[in-house]
Structure 1
């Protein structure tokens, strides 16, 4: 797959571990600690404060770390495979497919476990991402703007199907809650399967060089002896796992996979292995900051993190478009 704006190979990058990364880790670590102690409930003064801290604050903060890193990583891999900076799971329909899979499982098996719901979401996300790639292969004009438009249109169709099914089965309210993208309901005993995305991140790091070569295009990858189809299949599977699991546990986190890889790429180039720690770190920091804002802006109530991410992400998306136009 080639576009008019191919992702170049590692313009900059530098060492994998350096002083700046350590500073960034310290800053994000401070945000994570702040998340542990931010909330309406008095975990210090109440009699059951320690128990509530373990049941709600710790799981929520761990979920912030895992979900933020997973979705940012998914956006980076998807941008490499499509050679387009404007794609990520929420602009390719992957998230909508995951939601449809979740809804299908809930309709067919109302009492399904969280593991069964995740499996349905992951399978649907995988199928949807492959459908997007198949559409992309048949599009003659693959400009930087046409590619995400295709994904958004596919996502809109899938979202319409999900809404129709939800209306027919009286689950429209549940569908709205699932796609709210909030960490409010993350509790101990309900988030542990989210650790699966950590394994997906490790797999991406192991296969980083293959994804980087695949990002140069099918012809180049094949010429250097890479099985392009297998690498695309692997990347699609990892994206589906991350998106499906996060959708079931947290909901929709729009534009996170768009913002973070582009910001990192501006400063470090496009080497996946070198950028992955930065992408994961910035993903965690971004979603944590947005969640903290959502918790305090109208305290004691909360604003879903997806709302804040949507506003920030839309603004960054427009800025990226303007930057793309300015630089030809």
Structure 2
């Protein structure tokens, strides 16, 4: 209980710092900036971080491997492919249409990854993330090729590079869908925990494994698509946060899922603040900051696993 109170207090402090950090002053007529930019940006970082962390832990449960997340399993790359395809077919499509196309391709991409994982030998867990990296690389290469052939590389960079500088009131609200799916994931937390035991064990305990698998796929795909369409790809959140929380609190999602969501939200918001102050008054995209910090945390996780056998 004390840990949860500390996390909530930390999130509140980070949110306050985020609202007060920026080039423009909030005094006088600048107060409108708080409501049209700073608050939406803070909310977007919190929602994206929480959603991606929850999507990561669900994917790890479904694949029964601790080293996968949407950006290392082809889900985010598939969502980007959907964005490029819908842009080629319907350049003037509304944002909800692009999000729908990205969701469909992300769902197909995630299902394809899980299908590949089932064919891998279970004795070597590192084969799963390696397969995911190759799988995502192939999808990413196809996306880049399509964008290059149609002179859309700059457009693709804008969509896939994770950053919050363009978030304003009216341009982030779809991320609340990721927040709603986080709540749904908590409602089904016990089922995802059982699914993580494996299909045979889950069926013996009376769980409809196929139904839970489809629900998990849908949650991961929609969260990945909404995040990619709104703020771009944000790496490592779904990988390092669930692993760090599991080390401290275990793997019962009913107990740990709120901590995972809050920790993911705090990590993304902290990195966004850091990106705004390192080269003030310029900004470093949050995807770049998380790429460095997330990689360091992941290496630490790998080192800890090796040290403890």
- Tell me how far apart the structure 1 counterparts of residues 123 and 284 of structure 2 sit (CA, whole Å): 37
- For residues 297-308 of structure 1, the aligned pairs below 5 Å read 297-308=278-289
- Tell me how far apart the structure 2 counterparts of residues 26 and 321 of structure 1 sit (CA, whole Å): 29
Q: Is 1:313 aligned with 2:294?
A: yes
Q: Normalising by structure 2, what TM-score?
A: 0.98
Q: Is 1:24 aligned with 2:7?
A: yes
Moved more, 312-321 or 286-295: 312-321
- Tell me how far apart the structure 2 counterparts of residues 279 and 327 of structure 1 sit (CA, whole Å): 23
- Tell me how far apart the structure 2 counterparts of residues 241 and 318 of structure 1 sit (CA, whole Å): 29
Q: Is 1:205 aligned with 2:153?
A: no
Match of 1:9 in 2: none
- For residues 43-62 of structure 1, the aligned pairs below 5 Å read 43-45=26-28, 47=29, 49-62=30-43
Match of 1:221 in 2: 202
Match of 1:14 in 2: none
5+ unaligned residues in a row in structure 1: which ranges?
A: 1-17
**Aligned-residue offset at 1:268:** 0.3
**Aligned-residue offset at 1:22:** 1.3
Q: Is 1:156 aligned with 2:137?
A: yes
3-state SS of the aligned residue for 1:192? coil
- Tell me how far apart the structure 1 counterparts of residues 151 and 35 of structure 2 sit (CA, whole Å): 35
Note the aligned Cα RMSD (angstroms).
Answer: 1.1
Match of 1:269 in 2: 250
Count of residues paired in the alignment:
309
Q: Which of 233, 249, 252 matches 2:233?
A: 252
3-state SS of the aligned residue for 1:105? helix
Deviations 1:299-328 (A, max 9, x none): 111000000101111112222222222333
3-state SS of the aligned residue for 2:157? helix
- Tell me how far apart the structure 2 counterparts of residues 156 and 227 of structure 1 sit (CA, whole Å): 33
- For residues 114-125 of structure 1, the aligned pairs below 5 Å read 114-125=95-106
**Richer in helix (by share):** 2
